[in-house]
Amino acid sequence: MLEIINRIFVAILILLVLGGIAMSFGMMALELSGSGIETQKFLDMRTSPQLSLMGVPSHIKPDDSPYSLDVTLNTPPLADNDLLYIEAYANGKQVATADCLSGMDDPGMYAGLQTLDCQVDLPYKYSPSQGYELYAVLHSGNEDYYSGPKSVTADWGDYEYSFWGAFLFLLLSVSVLYLAVALPIAVVVFYRGMKTRHPGARKGEFTLGSLLNPFGNGKTMLQRFHAFIISPYFWGIESVGILLVLLYLFMSAEAWRNSIALGSFFISGLISFIIPFLWCAAFWYADFKEREPLRILVTFFLWGCLAALMAIGINSITGALFELAGLGFLGSILIAPPLEELYKGTGLTLLSEYHEYNSVENGLMFGFVIGMGFSFIENWLYLIDNPFSADIGGWLVLFIVRSVLFSANHGVYTAIVGGIIGWLEERKFAAPALGLIPGVLIAAMYHAAHNSSDLLTALFGTTGGLLAYCCLLIPLFDYGGLLALLLIFAWAVLRKKK
């Protein structure tokens, strides 16, 4: 009876996965098909003779992106709870916005003001000579006012020169890292993987023939299903979804615009992959008593990449709803963590009755590998907007923070789910996939804690929030979670009999 429940539960999860993919496709198609003429919204606003932009130069020559442009605003006398912005557009699309009252937490600081200085950051947008239109926007009571546009032309020639210098340095560094570190590790892993024997495997289960013809080795429908999941045919299905994600990233970043955009797209992918690969190789090699078949790890890594596609649609929709309610920071705490952990963890349930998934250390490793696949795509997504929306130094800092300092986070979260399923497998529980439920709850708690910096800032202010995040949550949940994972994994490997 429990075996039937397990399979029904897995089937329901597959339907949820398909629903998430369909929603993401719809959202991506809708977003990419938009006209991009965002300045039309000003047709619904009024102008005011007292609202104007002053001191806007007609021509600038930035040497980095974004360029901080200082602007003076004349406004009607400001009242409590007014909102005042500068919005910048290029080719009809909004490329930057500046909240001119953001540094004035107390409305008394700006009540009655009629002149103030504001700074808007203009990003590079794929052209050596780019034109921008600046608008002032005032939300006062029930009325919305705008002033503009003021036109600015930017000559990005110096920035493009500095970008190529940074790009060539990065490309050289990444090439050395791949050739000197990743390639030798890949050779060792492949060689060891081919030499590894699996005592519990069926005859011929992990041969080249079974890889090309997965259905010929299994005797039961379940065995054939498992063989299919760890075969190149399933990898092809996963890869189609992943390629669609990358196509979406390529299109949304407009990477076809010029050689700089294209170079940024591909170098972002290269540097996003290296750390997840090294983590996966280290975990696989550390399980020295019974290293798992590499084909299982390929399936799970690709599943992690695919899970990014599953989450895009719902994350975008719910995030927009929270933003409209003025609670954008809650979306990253209440929605993204459980949703992403559910989609990532579903991959583990596909092999929850597989004989190679039979212990805690298996679950920890499999979950960690899924998390690394997800991290690879997510980091690519974060890096793809840079260095255009941040300076080149900021691009490198973002890489260090996401891909190095917090590189293992997604792996730790999904390893929790995998470890619980593996614990149930060890005890011969007939419905181990149900371990996904408590696993997702615990993993989502860790994930939400990592995402809570904005909430802590709102609760305790900038300084108090930063201290709480750096001195409490990071040690307890980020590095504390990683340390706990490593200790449990080491204990599980060492207790195993060869």
Q: Tens-digit pLDDT profile for the chain (498 aa)?
A: 888 999 999 999 999 999 888 888 888 887 777 655 666 677 677 887 788 888 888 899 988 888 899 998 888 888 878 888 899 988 878 888 888 887 666 656 677 788 888 899 888 877 778 889 999 888 887 788 888 788 999 998 888 888 788 788 888 888 898 999 888 988 888 888 777 777 777 787 888 888 888 887 777 888 889 999 999 999 999 999 999 888 888 887 777 877 878 888 888 888 889 999 999 999 999 988 888 899 999 999 999 999 988 888 777 777 767 666 666 666 778 888 999 999 999 999 999 999 999 899 999 999 999 999 999 998 888 887 655 555 667 777 777 877 778 889 999 999 999 999 999 999 999 999 999 999 999 999 999 888 887 777 767 777 777 787 788 888 888 888 889 999 999 998 888 766
Partners of 71 in the β-ladder:
118
Contacts (Cβ under 8 Å, ≥6 apart) of 150: 53, 56, 133, 134, 135
Count of CB atoms situated within 10 Å of the CB of 166? 16
Question: What's residue 385's pLDDT?
Answer: 63
For residue 259, what are the CA distances in angstroms to 255, 356, 482?
8, 46, 39
Question: What's residue 193's pLDDT?
Answer: 79
| Phi, psi angle pair for 386, to nearest 5° | -105, 155
| Phi, psi angle pair for 133, to nearest 5° | -120, 130
Residue 436 to residue 419: CA distance in whole angstroms? 10
Q: What dotted CATH number matches 38-155? A: 2.60.40.2550
Show me where the domains of the chain are located: 2-34+159-495, 38-155
Tokens of 294: 């590499």
Taking the model in full, what pTM does it have?
A: 0.87
Question: What's residue 343's pLDDT?
Answer: 95
Question: What's residue 327's pLDDT?
Answer: 63
Question: What's residue 240's pLDDT?
Answer: 93
Residue 453 to residue 458: CA distance in whole angstroms? 9
The amino acid occupying position 311 is A
Residue 330 to residue 175: CA distance in whole angstroms? 40
